[in-house]
Amino acid sequence: MRILVVGMSNSIHTARWLAQLEGTGWEVHLFPSLELSLHAAIRNVHFHDLGFSLIAGRDALAPEGSVTWTRFKSAQMASQFLFKILDRRRPGWRERRLARTIRSLQPDVVHSLEIQHAGYLTHDALLSLDGAKPRWMVSNWGSDLYLFGRFPEHQGRISQVLRACDYYLCECRRDIGLAMSLGLDRGKGLGLVPSAGGLDITAVRSMHAGVTSQRRLILVKGYQNWAGRSLVALAALGMCADALEGYRVAVYLASKEVELAARLLAANSGLEVEIIPRCSHAQMLQWCGRARICIGLSISDGLPNSLTEAMALGAFPIQSCTACADEWIVDGVSGFIVPPEDPHRVAEAIQKAIADDELVDNAARENWKTVEARLSSVDVRDQVLTAYRRVMESVK
């Protein structure tokens, strides 16, 4: 089988998805839907860049301010500037380049990972092709339908993608209904598969640092952007600081704005607050394995890695209601599902998780059962390969 994946080449989600195809004997190609940089974990794949050399993603993990890090950031800025010029002076150049790649490769399957960039791009490229076309699979990621599907300027484009594709994959039952409301034929569905793949059950089990109720770390996902709401989490921690004596707060993926808010939280409340520097995924899992509580807030998401990793590593999840967390945890039993922009509700959830040792220990046991049953990397990989084989059967 020859597969052309169209996706964000700098994304860990793309890297983990592609890793599941290793060892199959299939010929796998990657066409970047947006970025010029290449994630360090992507390997054993044929790359089709946008006409420029890809920037090594491993350089992004270099110490901030180092020569390597500065070179990486400068190259990113230069490439983004160049792409803006090309987009303005040569509209449609990406679609034309992808169309030429499809004509040259003649893949059995084109798989778009994500809709707003990869899906739109693939739709336009395939539309320009004459004659027989490859089977087209589409996977939607977190906010593709739940958030962007509400905006008139995206609804039409999303509907075009869902009506034109041959097969559809998603990770939330919620999104199946949304996709059908936007024009998807039910018969195109290939089931539910986590877009970031599964977890190595043995490896994550070894990263547990004691019983959950004995841990004294609160981990906060530091995204504050168009979707992330980490500032709400920090405000909530400030509201219940009196109940957190002896606890430490650690924030990861923090922007400068969030770092400043974290420092103010520490200064105003007396809490010990730490900013986790950029680190490897394995190191991040170790942090999670030491946490009593993991907080992830956003106005829109699918199945967050922060949720599944908290479940796997025994941390009690406090997750916003705008993800499909309710398909994985039971509110008040195996985690708390909270409004993403209400610090009072988040503070209430934190206080309950701090005060109730039995709650967090029982949640850890229940969540581990869910992880074993639904998130094993072996089982998820089997589901992924089965989906591709089903598509191939339709090609013959």
- Asked if pLDDT for residue 66 goes beyond 90, the answer is no
Domains 2-198+377-395 and 201-374 share a fold: yes
16-368-249 Cα angle (round to 5): 80
Average pLDDT over residues 69-94: 72
Look at residue 233 and give its three-state secondary structure.
Answer: helix
Tell me which of 3.40.50.2000, 3.20.20.140, 3.30.360.10, 3.30.465.10 is the CATH number of domain 201-374. Answer: 3.40.50.2000
CATH top-level class of 2-198+377-395: alpha beta
Contact status, residue 145 vs residue 175, Cβ threshold 8 Å: yes
pLDDT for the residue 131: 83
* Predicted confidence band of residue 79 (pLDDT cuts 50, 70, 90): low
What 322-328 contacts at long range (C-beta under 8 Å, 24+ apart), as own/partner pairs, is: 322/146, 322/298, 323/142, 323/296, 323/298, 324/171, 324/172, 324/173, 324/174, 324/175, 327/172, 327/173, 327/174, 327/303, 328/303, 328/370, 328/374
Average pLDDT over residues 8-27: 93
pLDDT for the residue 60: 58
**pTM for this one?**
0.90
* Rounded Cα gap, residues 215 and 185, in angstroms: 48
- Asked if pLDDT for residue 94 goes beyond 90, the answer is no
pLDDT for the residue 259: 96
Q: Which two structure tokens, joined as six digits, stand for 199? A: 């977890």
Residue with more model confidence, 121 or 76: 121
pLDDT for the residue 84: 74
- Domain extents in the chain: 2-198+377-395, 201-374
* Rounded Cα gap, residues 396 and 392, in angstroms: 7
